[in-house]
């Protein structure tokens, strides 16, 4: 199960109350006030952990709270502070406060953390209120309540290249060839049911690049056909969109039409996606009719970078892999 959106109800710990107490000892009559302060309540902290791949943990456990501080005690003893509640989330998590409707935090890389809710302050014991005119104060201050809130956690994968294509176009096969991920592939639509990010390594000191393989898009995805298009959130952060088209489709559909449909679905999700730099990968060039279809496509869109490849024979894979780094060198803010 892959979960990229959850609602959680969180609460920070309350502060412990201050204590009302007087020193009582043999031979020390009227020993004076000695009530200690309450401990502070624990915070609710979100911690970005690259070993966490999605938000499934919170789907089944949507409530979490930090520990409350303990009340103060006699003999000026301070109550114990409550423990923080640390929630681990995957990289790319955005936090929306459902009460205000605003995005309140974004965690992008391993180790990032944010205090989402502050724990309550510990109260004051009666020892703080002694004075020359009031040597036996019965006054204390209670702890303050911890903050609480309802949040929506949304995960948007962080990848530089987003692979977009119809089901069966060969997205996962290509991802397996370019990266060390081992995704399931198969000659049927919707083999891939959730997105996954892989890393393309170049060696020779060149920086690696990340690529997101997402489920296939079909015409009408914006009307919830196929798997719908919610998973397009995982390519929202990509600075390059790689459209992968099936040049060997046996049902005889045209690559030009496939490209038009894919762009239409992307536009329905977020028109800004259409402004992103893009390139076209013509896959399955080993199939009959592929040359003809690739020719037609190139004739129709001569200005869009086009890479004919075959994942089966591996022709063109090297050229495609080598084409990515120059695009990102020209655009240093690639991992936006
Ligand atoms: N002949 C040929 N078949 C290919 C090529 N690339 C992939 N395939 C086959 O096409 C089928 C679909 O490949 P996948 O990688 O699962 O396709 P996908 O785009 O990930 O599909 P979904 O996950 O369903 O969206 C598999 O049976 C692959 O073996 C190619 O270059 N030539
Ligand atoms: Mg796939």
Confidence (pLDDT) at 333:
47
* Ligand in closest contact with the CA of 173: 1
State which fold the 161-329 domain adopts: Rossmann fold (3.40.50)
- C-alpha 269/C-alpha 59 separation (Å) is 25
Confidence (pLDDT) at 330:
63
Instruction: Name the strand (E) or helix (H) holding 325.
Output: helix 317-329
Q: What is the mean pLDDT of each run of 10 residues along the chain (336 residues)?
A: 92 95 89 93 95 92 95 93 96 94 92 95 93 91 95 93 93 94 88 91 87 91 84 91 90 88 92 92 92 90 92 94 84 45
* Ligand in closest contact with the CA of 231: 1
pTM score, whole prediction: 0.84
Confidence (pLDDT) at 251:
79
Question: Is residue 168 lining ligand 1, measured as CB closer than 6 Å?
Answer: yes
Confidence (pLDDT) at 332:
47
- C-alpha 13/C-alpha 79 separation (Å) is 13
Question: Is residue 45 lining ligand 1, measured as CB closer than 6 Å?
Answer: no
Ligand 2 centre and the CA of 276: distance in Å?
A: 23
Question: Is residue 172 lining ligand 1, measured as CB closer than 6 Å?
Answer: yes
Residue 158 sits at φ, ψ, to 5 deg, of -105, 110
The residue ranges of every structural domain in the chain are 5-155, 161-329
Residue nearest to atom 23 of ligand 1 (CA): 192
Domain spanning 5-155: CATH 3.20.20.70: no
Cβ–Cβ < 8 Å for 18, 140: yes
- Provide the residue count of the chain: 336
Please list, in sequence order, all residues whose beta carbon lies within 8 angstroms of the beta carbon of residue 75, skipping any fewer than 6 positions away: 21, 23, 34, 36
**DSSP string computed for 19-86:** ---B--BTTBTT--B-PPPPPPPPPEEEEE-TT--SSHHHHH--EEEPPPPPPPBTTTBPPPPPPPEE
Question: Is residue 271 lining ligand 1, measured as CB closer than 6 Å?
Answer: no
**For ligand 2, a single-atom ion, which residues have Cβ within 5 Å?**
171-172, 191-192
Confidence (pLDDT) at 206:
82
Cβ–Cβ < 8 Å for 2, 55: no
DSSP 129: G
Confidence (pLDDT) at 173:
95
Of the candidates 177, 154, 147, which has an alpha carbon nearest to the alpha carbon of residue 41?
147
Q: How far is CA 195 from CA 2, 25, 178, 234, in A?
A: 9, 69, 16, 7
Residue nearest to atom 2 of ligand 1 (CA): 284
Confidence (pLDDT) at 334:
41
């Amino acid at each position: 199960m892959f979960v990229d959106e959850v609602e959680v109800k969180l609460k920070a710990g309350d502060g412990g109350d201050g204590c009302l107490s007087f020193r009582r000892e043999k031979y020390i009559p009227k020993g004076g006030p000695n009530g200690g302060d309450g401990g502070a309540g624990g915070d609710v902290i979100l911690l970005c952990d690259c070993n966490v791949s999605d938000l499934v943990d919170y789907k089944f456990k949507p409530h979490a709270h930090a520990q409350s501080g303990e009340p103060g005690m006699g003999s000026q003893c301070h109550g114990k502070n409550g423990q923080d509640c640390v929630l681990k989330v995957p990289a790319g998590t955005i936090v929306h406060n459902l009460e205000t409707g605003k995005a309140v935090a974004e965690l992008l890389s391993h180790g990032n953390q944010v205090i989402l809710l502050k724990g309550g302050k510990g109260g004051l014991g009666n020892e703080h209120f002694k004075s020359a005119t009031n040597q036996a104060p019965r006054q204390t201050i209670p702890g303050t309540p911890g903050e609480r809130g309802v949040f929506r956690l949304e995960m948007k994968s962080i990848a530089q290249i987003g692979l977009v294509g119809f089901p069966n176009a060969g997205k996962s096969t290509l991802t397996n060839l370019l990266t060390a991920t081992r995704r399931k592939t198969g000659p049927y639509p919707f083999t891939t049911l959730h997105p996954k990010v892989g890393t393309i390594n170049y060696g020779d000191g060149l920086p690696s690049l990340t690529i997101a393989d997402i489920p296939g898009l079909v015409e009408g995805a914006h009307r919830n056909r196929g798997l719908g298009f919610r998973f397009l959130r995982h390519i929202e952060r990509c600075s390059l969109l790689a459209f992968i088209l099936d040049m060997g489709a046996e049902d005889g559909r045209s690559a030009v039409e496939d490209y038009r449909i894919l762009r239409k679905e992307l536009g329905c999700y977020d028109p800004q996606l259409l402004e992103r730099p893009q390139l076209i990968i013509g896959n399955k060039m080993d199939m009959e009719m592929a040359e003809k279809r690739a020719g037609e496509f190139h004739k129709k869109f001569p200005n869009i970078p086009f890479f004919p490849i075959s994942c089966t024979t591996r022709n063109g894979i090297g050229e495609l892999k080598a084409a990515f780094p120059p695009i990102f060198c020209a655009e240093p803010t690639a991992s936006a």
